[in-house]
Structure 1
Amino acid sequence: MDTMKSVLTAKDKVDVRDVERPTPGPTDALVRIRACGICGTDTFFLHLGGMPAGTDGSMRAIPLGHEPAGEIVEAGAEVTDVKVGDRVVVNPQGVPSGIIGCGGAHGAMSEYLLIEGVETGKNVTVFPDTVPFEVAALNEPMAVARHAVNRSEAKPADKVVVFGAGPIGLGAAVWLKLRGVEHVVVVDIIPERLETALAVGADAVINSATENVTERLTEVHGRAANALGQPRPGTDIYVDAAGAPAVFQAVVDNAKWHAKLVMVAVQKKSDAIDLGGMLRSELTLIASQGYPTEIFEVTPELVEHHERFARLISHRVPFGEVERAFELALTPGAAEKVVVTFDGEA
């Protein structure tokens, strides 16, 4: 039996195991993973110790990894869409055995990944060798960010602020600028993240730990008012990529009449949010979940602007040190975007 190494969940750490290497069927393909990003969802599963296994509270270990890029090394006899040697990114939600790396049968933080019923545009798409594997591995999180921007329906004249300069927030800032939005502000409390935001194209940044957000937004976006005529910053669209209750409340407190709030971050429960305050601005709340159509919509622009997107990666860690990679991801403030690379190639 041929084996491969694969990363599974344990409690607050990873379990690297030797498992059976998949064998593709007639309509399947086998991808040799060359890079795979670590996501907040991965760390969520590690804090849980896996996924619930039943009503008794027990947990089952699951294979991790849903942000892969790699190359086709085997293709079934009936496969015509891809060929051996193609470099591909993957739609984790496009296979019948469950979401890759999120409770499905397969995880991409492995040496090889089986793509069942392989089909370009459905579960894989090919990218050129001009793009490093590590940057191509950003395809999935950048699809999440793109969906949030699509949901915002931002127009060039809109003034936009993004709260949270993690990978999704920074990705949203990039997509907003590529969409032609004239002024994008990014808010965070970590100076290094704000430096990255400027490097990828944000027009201004605000450190909410040291600056008054309301005053700074009024300074850069002008003055407007809410439905009661009370003064508010002229910001048209707020993007919450942070998920902290204080951010949600800050938007409610600052929103002008008919402003929008796009909620892409997973929200932490709180009783401190004054939802009634939304009435004073007729604030529109827009939820953004995943990437219903964006998973491969983003790929051509990711290819075109790959040097800009590469700035989102803070750590590149070889698979032989995958435990260290997850330790970085599990430690608040230690890393922004960690990508695990395989065979030393990125």
Structure 2
Amino acid sequence: MKVVSCLGGKLEVIDVAAPRPADGQLVLDVQRCGICGSDLHAKDHADELQDAMVDVGYGDFMRSDTPVVMGHEFCGEVAERGRRVAKEFKVGTTVVSFPLMRANGGVHLTGLSPLAPGAYAEQVVAEASMSFVVPNGLSLDIAALTEPMAVALHAVNRSDIGKRDAAIVIGCGPVGLAVICHLKARGVRTIVASDLSAKRRALATRCGADVVVDPTVDSPYEAASTKGVITEAPALYELGIGSMEKLRKLPGWSHVYRAAEALGAAGPKRPVIFECVGVPGIIDGVIGAAPLSSRIIVVGVCMGEDKMRPALANGKEIDLRFVLGYTPLEFRDTLYMLAEGKLDASPLITGTVGLDGVEAAFGVLAGAETHAKILIDPRSSALVP
């Protein structure tokens, strides 16, 4: 079968032996596979990523000197079943799969390890226990977005955002756009999106952003400001003294204070900020510009070393949360949200290529101006998206 092999930062279509399923596994005929931003980084910076993964205990991540077949955002049709596979996975059934695979005595990251070849290929192996039948006749294109949309669902879940909170999304690439889609589906009333690219800002509007700003012209934090947001320390100090002057006139003032704390009304209002860029300097820049007490969800993955000013984060009482991936339940829930029409991810798809067009698609995505999510259709002859 044909696959796209990555070796030394080069992409090449080659022929390899077709895979066979082990117990509990499926061989899928790949129908669609998304090109992820992490794939773009891994192609050229695999060794840096491998070093980071070693530090978290996973030593089998892809390296530049070892060929790997990438692709972890996929949907496929069951072509062959291993033993002990549930009856729901009949041959011909369309499924999406969580990109983890048992192989060589361990569990590996599908498409990001040479031990678990991914879906830049005509066929891919998936674990039946981590696969889900695509419901409601959901289109192949949208089904293939289950994985990246699950990443965004996990980020929004971890943010603890409420409908009345102001959300600020910094960076409107595929991850930022997916976050906007989920915020809209959740009913968040104020969604501000910020990106340098006019085309990406237009996509953000299509995904549900209420306000879009060019950060070289306007501040997303000012665009999202609501009554009660505090941007400077002296205003916080004044709030503290002024509130206590009023409270101390009440009998049992401490009980009133505790009640206000329980309702989340004792301190300044905070926006919830989603950092979806992932380049050095962004986190510190967001901390510096954000209002006091902001909650920052770091969704973008910075591939290099970075630095920040902890004292500034301390002084502003910034709540900083890093996120990665998703749970199996979030993966399943995302699929059903897409299939039931509760989540609209269609604006993300901006192009399709065949296996022979993957190298060109990487080049286009490196510019990041015109496209968001490019899908691979192994049966397509398209050389450019």
- For 2:193 and 2:379, the matched residues in 1 are separated by 36
Name the TM-score, length of structure 1 as normaliser.
0.87
Within 5 Å, which residues of 2 pair with 1:152-231?
A: 152-218=159-225, 221-222=226-227, 224-226=229-231, 228-230=233-235
Asked if the contact 2:7/2:65 (under 8 Å) is kept, the reply is no
1:58–1:127: structure 2 CA closer, same or farther, 3 Å change rule? closer
Match of 2:332 in 1: 296
Asked if the contact 1:166/1:193 (under 8 Å) is kept, the reply is yes
More helix by share: 2
1:59–1:48: structure 2 CA closer, same or farther, 3 Å change rule? farther
Residue 152 (structure 2) pairs with residue 145 (structure 1): yes
- For 1:261 and 1:111, the matched residues in 2 are separated by 40
Letter aligned with residue 204 of structure 2: A
Asked if the contact 2:168/2:221 (under 8 Å) is kept, the reply is no
Deviation digits for residues 180-223 of structure 1 (CA, Å, limit 9, x no counterpart): 211111111101111111111111111113324444333xx356
1:115–1:214: structure 2 CA closer, same or farther, 3 Å change rule? closer
Q: How many residues align?
A: 332
Match of 2:7 in 1: 10
Match of 1:270 in 2: 306
Percentage of identical aligned residues:
29
- For 1:250 and 1:43, the matched residues in 2 are separated by 24
Asked if the contact 2:181/2:343 (under 8 Å) is kept, the reply is no
Deviation digits for residues 110-145 of structure 1 (CA, Å, limit 9, x no counterpart): 1001224x22xxx11011363221221111111111
Match of 1:107 in 2: 118
Asked if the contact 2:99/2:126 (under 8 Å) is kept, the reply is no
Name the TM-score, length of structure 2 as normaliser.
0.78
Match of 1:65 in 2: 71
Match of 2:364 in 1: 328
Match of 2:44 in 1: 47
From 266, 279, 286, the equivalent of 2:314 is 279
1:183–1:132: structure 2 CA closer, same or farther, 3 Å change rule? same
Deviation digits for residues 37-67 of structure 1 (CA, Å, limit 9, x no counterpart): 111221222113676899xx97212111111
- For 2:378 and 2:284, the matched residues in 1 are separated by 42
Letter aligned with residue 265 of structure 1: G
- What's the secondary structure of 2:179's corresponding residue? helix
- For 2:294 and 2:149, the matched residues in 1 are separated by 24
- For 1:260 and 1:196, the matched residues in 2 are separated by 25
The structure with the larger Rg is 2
From 241, 248, 255, the equivalent of 2:283 is 248
Letter aligned with residue 229 of structure 2: A
My pick for the range that moved more, 87-96 or 159-168, is: 87-96
1:214–1:125: structure 2 CA closer, same or farther, 3 Å change rule? closer
Letter aligned with residue 98 of structure 1: H
Letter aligned with residue 110 of structure 1: A
Alpha-carbon shift at residue 236 of structure 1 (Å): 1.6
Deviation digits for residues 316-341 of structure 1 (CA, Å, limit 9, x no counterpart): 11234222222223344353211111
Asked if the contact 1:206/1:213 (under 8 Å) is kept, the reply is yes
From 70, 76, 85, the equivalent of 2:92 is 85
Asked if the contact 2:26/2:125 (under 8 Å) is kept, the reply is yes
Alpha-carbon shift at residue 154 of structure 1 (Å): 0.5
- For 2:331 and 2:223, the matched residues in 1 are separated by 35
Asked if the contact 1:36/1:108 (under 8 Å) is kept, the reply is yes
- For 1:48 and 1:270, the matched residues in 2 are separated by 16
Alpha-carbon shift at residue 7 of structure 1 (Å): 1.4
1:332–1:10: structure 2 CA closer, same or farther, 3 Å change rule? farther
Alpha-carbon shift at residue 171 of structure 1 (Å): 0.8
> Which residues of structure 1 form unaligned runs of 5+?
none
1:256–1:113: structure 2 CA closer, same or farther, 3 Å change rule? same
Match of 2:20 in 1: 23
From 358, 368, 374, the equivalent of 1:338 is 374
Asked if the contact 1:234/1:256 (under 8 Å) is kept, the reply is no
CA-atom RMSD, angstroms? 2.7
Deviation digits for residues 7-60 of structure 1 (CA, Å, limit 9, x no counterpart): 121233312110000122453321000100111221222113676899xx9721
- For 1:95 and 1:29, the matched residues in 2 are separated by 12
Within 5 Å, which residues of 2 pair with 1:121-140?
A: 123-128=130-135, 130-140=137-147
